[in-house]
Structure 1
Amino acid sequence: MSDMKVWGFTDDRGTALGAVRVPGRVVAYVRAGAALLDLGVTPVAVYGSGHDGEGLDPVKAGELEAAGVPYLGPGRVVDEARLRGLGPELIVDVTYDGKSSYALDEGVAERLGVPLAALSVGNELPLAAIMGRFRELAAALGAPGGGVVDPVAPAEAALREAAAQVDVTVLALSGAGADQVHLARPHAWPELARLQELGVRVVDPGPGPGANWLTADWEHAAALRPDLVLFDSRANAVGPGAFPPVGHARVAPWNPETPPSPAAYARFFEGIAVALPA
């Protein structure tokens, strides 16, 4: 009877997880951890991805630093002894393909004997469903859900109104250097697809290799004649202070790893609503 599973959750790989009690000590990939914190679950630690270094990228951190959540470094080289010492009861990662965890090798969790939940952040789910899955996990972990006002709806309404009043084309990109840039394909990014649904004219970079990005030169980006450039604001990307002007486009930040929480995406939509008519 002592091994009876009283807690269960099925992640977005279809993996059924179980535990003898509700997990209280959660270690998470930074993006997932920031979302869970927004939703009322404070991780005991977070780890990064292969893009991250030994310090926590403040753009990806959300409120984690303010909450005093320690950072363990990149997940692929995480110190397993240190992770074990934290006594984790659940590891939460994300998945882009619905098959594998993104930032931490599942073998690490298996060696520790800790269940690993991977939630989808890829384009197989619309943005609302992605946020909904994180809410479901947070609720399963004991976060209060009743009476919480969802800030996304008013932020989306404000953005829809702003988009209807301007004739602005938007290009999302990630700077790779002085000679190269990754141009986002809107359909591949749930938040960019949602911008399009709300009336924002997010342009596609055109044909070529790459499911999520078209890698090109800055001249190609300028030839698309955007009015507003959403630049990748993560620490691993080249920012607007170091890349050439994209025609006469204005710039505004975009975090491709925004925490999948209503609070975080409401802030993103509010920022775009302000940037469009600027």
Structure 2
Amino acid sequence: MPERRLAAFKTNRRVALGVLGTLGVAGLGHSARAQAGTPTALPENVAWSFTDDRGMTIEISSRPERIVAFSPVAAALWDLGRQPVGVFGPFTNADGAVDPQAGSIDPADVTWLGLWDTFDLEKLLALEPDLLVGLDLPDVPNTLWHIPEDIYPLLSERVPTVGFHMQPDQPTTAMFDRVEDLAVSLGVDLTSDQYVKERAAFEAAASAVTEALGARSSLTALAISADAESVFVANPTWFSDLRYFQDLGLEIITPETPDGRWQEVSWEQIGQYQPDLFLVDARSGEIPPELAGIATWASQPAVKAGQVAPWFAVYPYGRKAFTPILERLAEAIRAVDPAVES
């Protein structure tokens, strides 16, 4: 969240749409998995084919080798062993640290192509990519997220594109599945020992969340984004990671009158919610330190008890990167004291 100015979620289209990154799920869901990858019979002169979430079948005369991708997708492909040559979208911060959405990508090994306002088409074409992978948003139907509408027609004439949809009605694992579908079509072996081990670690972390909740069946959580001036309470039905946490058994409080993704409240109103656990937007890497000086925040029972955990609202779209997020959530749930009055 740029400079943690939450009002931007309502007034700035680019930032508001950026929040949709946390919804990263595939619009076609599991039905699309049967279509992904290389079909058994391809048209003449076609060696690679993939049906994306726009319903478009991309056919290329050879399997793509030089991939450019939106940073959360690029990070997931990186973890799967399919390293992109170029990345667009959030990448590095002002201090040089890699943005959470870019995961474990080494900035020295890829070319960054910019954000919505700075996307560099010439630099992209100089990379001679075989394929570009991005997010297709219904709010901006004629492009992919972080590619300006006036540039996309020129780009798509030169470079085949894959678009993944983002829907709020499925958990984040749906996007993980779709990125894996693409990775398999690009030659990644999901039966490898390394992937099987990483998949098992993910499943174990998910089970740990459910097991931690088993001893705390009445535990409630509230997800918020906040700065010193205002609080935005998240509507969990709009965030695919929160929806996944719900699937694992976590009861996340839904705001009374959300405006889509959020309900804005003042710090004086935060007391109307009394969760056992606060999940605080930490997409910058940490919980905003200025919250410590807000009296109404500090007076909340859960806060006084230290029952506050980071909510990593942006992340790479892959199981390996999401595993530590689940592990930290399980740890936070286990630390909740049932004796604390909420």
Q: Distance in 1 between matches of 2:98 and 2:255?
A: 28
Deviations 1:39-61 (A, max 9, x none): 221111211159x8796753222
Q: Distance in 2 between matches of 1:73 and 1:27?
A: 12
**Letter matched to residue 218 of structure 1:** W
Task: Using the TM superposition, give the Cα deviation of residue 107 of structure 1 relative to its aligned residue in structure 2, in angstroms.
Answer: 5.2
Pair 1:241 & 2:241 matched: no
Task: Using the TM superposition, give the Cα deviation of residue 137 of structure 1 relative to its aligned residue in structure 2, in angstroms.
Answer: 0.5
Q: Distance in 2 between matches of 1:117 and 1:106?
A: 16
Q: Within 5 A, what are the aligned runs for 1:114-263? A: 114-147=159-192, 148-149=195-196, 150=199, 151-166=201-216, 167-175=218-226, 177-209=227-259, 211-235=260-284, 239-243=287-291, 244=294, 245=297, 247=300, 248-249=302-303, 250-263=307-320
Pair 1:274 & 2:331 matched: yes
Q: Distance in 2 between matches of 1:222 and 1:258?
A: 29
- The answer on whether the counterparts of 2:102 and 2:315 sit within 8 Å (CA) in structure 1 is no
| Structure with higher helix content | 2
Deviations 1:112-145 (A, max 9, x none): 3111212134324333322111100011111121
Pair 1:41 & 2:82 matched: yes
Summarize the Cα distance change of 1:233–1:69 in structure 2 as closer, same or farther, 3 Å threshold: farther
Q: Distance in 2 between matches of 1:230 and 1:68?
A: 34
Q: Distance in 1 between matches of 2:186 and 2:114?
A: 24
Summarize the Cα distance change of 1:67–1:195 in structure 2 as closer, same or farther, 3 Å threshold: farther
- The answer on whether the counterparts of 2:221 and 2:279 sit within 8 Å (CA) in structure 1 is yes
Task: Using the TM superposition, give the Cα deviation of residue 109 of structure 1 relative to its aligned residue in structure 2, in angstroms.
Answer: 4.6
Q: State the TM-score, normalizing by the size of structure 2.
A: 0.72
Summarize the Cα distance change of 1:221–1:45 in structure 2 as closer, same or farther, 3 Å threshold: farther
Q: Distance in 2 between matches of 1:66 and 1:251?
A: 32
- The answer on whether the counterparts of 1:75 and 1:104 sit within 8 Å (CA) in structure 2 is yes
- Select the structure of larger CA radius of gyration: 2
Q: Distance in 1 between matches of 2:147 and 2:329?
A: 32
Q: Distance in 2 between matches of 1:41 and 1:106?
A: 28
**Letter matched to residue 105 of structure 2:** L
Q: State the TM-score, normalizing by the size of structure 1.
A: 0.87
Summarize the Cα distance change of 1:40–1:109 in structure 2 as closer, same or farther, 3 Å threshold: farther
Summarize the Cα distance change of 1:87–1:102 in structure 2 as closer, same or farther, 3 Å threshold: same
- Which consecutive unaligned segments of at least 5 residues does structure 2 have? 1-43, 336-342
Q: Distance in 2 between matches of 1:254 and 1:242?
A: 16
Deviations 1:70-105 (A, max 9, x none): 323214421111111111111111235495522224
Task: Using the TM superposition, give the Cα deviation of residue 218 of structure 1 relative to its aligned residue in structure 2, in angstroms.
Answer: 2.6
Q: Distance in 2 between matches of 1:164 and 1:103?
A: 41
Summarize the Cα distance change of 1:34–1:106 in structure 2 as closer, same or farther, 3 Å threshold: farther
- The answer on whether the counterparts of 1:155 and 1:266 sit within 8 Å (CA) in structure 2 is yes
**Letter matched to residue 324 of structure 2:** R
| Structure with higher strand content | 1
Q: Distance in 2 between matches of 1:217 and 1:202?
A: 20
